[in-house]
Amino acid sequence: MKIPVLKQGEYLIASIQEAATDADLQLLLNELVRRVGEHRSKGVIVDVTVLDVMDSFAARLLRDIANTVRLRGAETVIVGIQPDAAFTMVRLGMTLDDVATALDLEEGVAYLDRTLKRKRGS
Amino acid sequence: MSGESRIPISRDPDVVLARQQGRALALSLGFSESDPMFVATAISEIARNIVVHAGGRGEIVIRRLDQNGRVGIEVEATDTGPGIANIEQAMQEGFSTVKSLGLGLPGARRLMDEFEITSRVGEGTRIVMRKWARSSASRNRTHITLG
């Protein structure tokens, strides 16, 4: 099932569903990278609140999204990593490196607003 | 859910189905805290291995365990893929033959209480892993049988 991506102003918001497959996540990467150019988006929010597992593939894809989107000139923030997912990632020794995270959608938008303001201010 | 479910693993959606069934069984058996997600994630890793490394020729059986008053989950994954030539290397964190984090098998071992892997080159691989309800998480046994 295709992961929906919504355009909200300068941002793209992707909400990963509970039963996302590896192929769905791979398609999302391609879609976000394409649409950042199409809409001249400045920020991407990936919401993983309902994703049922945060395994090694999902963690790698989130990193790939953030790194690739950055190369396209936009910022990414991952929101909604649930307590169980955080515990699993720590147990596995998985990190998101320097990928930005925020508690929820609201905090994610606030993070992007701050980051863009700083970029434009300098 | 009945005591055992058998899920043929050939494509991506089968990985999702297997991890969901594992999580559902863990929840129904009263696994607490993060344990249902640990079980689901471990299943996801070994099911993906069947799709990626064994050409989607395998299956996963998830069953309930009752042993000396303890309740647990056993996950048995078998495939008829190429087998693993060097299991010790495959169990090393960070080792990967494909573009990944190299956390698949070692990750599954970390998330479960018991983990056994047997593989014969040209015949396939069999993994049996278990997790017990309640606090037996500190026990972590690994058996490696080279074929």
pLDDT computed for residue B145 by the predictor: 62
Nearest CA in chain B to A88: B38
Q: Where are the domains of chain A?
A: 5-121
The pLDDT tens digits for A32-49 are 999 999 999 999 999 999
Mean pLDDT of B82-101: 76
Please check whether residue A25 touches B, CB under 8 A. no
Q: How far is CA B136 from CA A115, B13, B71, B117, in A?
A: 45, 31, 11, 20
Q: What is the CATH number of domain B4-146?
A: 3.30.565.10
Q: What is d(CA A21, CA A38) in angstroms, rounded to the nearest whole number?
A: 25
The pLDDT tens digits for B108-120 are 999 999 999 999 9
pLDDT computed for residue B139 by the predictor: 46
CATH architecture of A5-121: 2-Layer Sandwich (3.30)
The pLDDT tens digits for A76-90 are 999 999 999 999 999
The pLDDT tens digits for A56-114 are 999 999 999 999 999 999 999 999 999 999 999 999 888 888 899 999 999 999 999 99
Asked if the model's pLDDT at residue B136 lies above 50, the reply is no
The 3-state secondary structure of A65-118 reads HHHHHHHCCCEEEEECCCHHHHHHHHHHCCCCCCCEEECCHHHHHHHHHHHHHH
Instruction: Give contacts of A 53-82 with B, CB under 8 A.
Output: 53-57, 59-60
Asked if the model's pLDDT at residue B60 lies above 70, the reply is yes
Please list every residue in chain B whose beta carbon sits closer than 8 Å to the beta carbon of residue A90: none
pTM for this entry:
0.89
Q: Where are the domains of chain B?
A: 4-146
Asked if the model's pLDDT at residue B1 lies above 50, the reply is no
Residue B43 C-alpha, separation from nearest chain A C-alpha, in angstroms = 10
pLDDT computed for residue B97 by the predictor: 66
Verify whether the Cβ–Cβ distance B44 to A53 is below 8 Å. Answer: yes
- Residue B74 near residue B129, CB atoms below 8 Å: yes
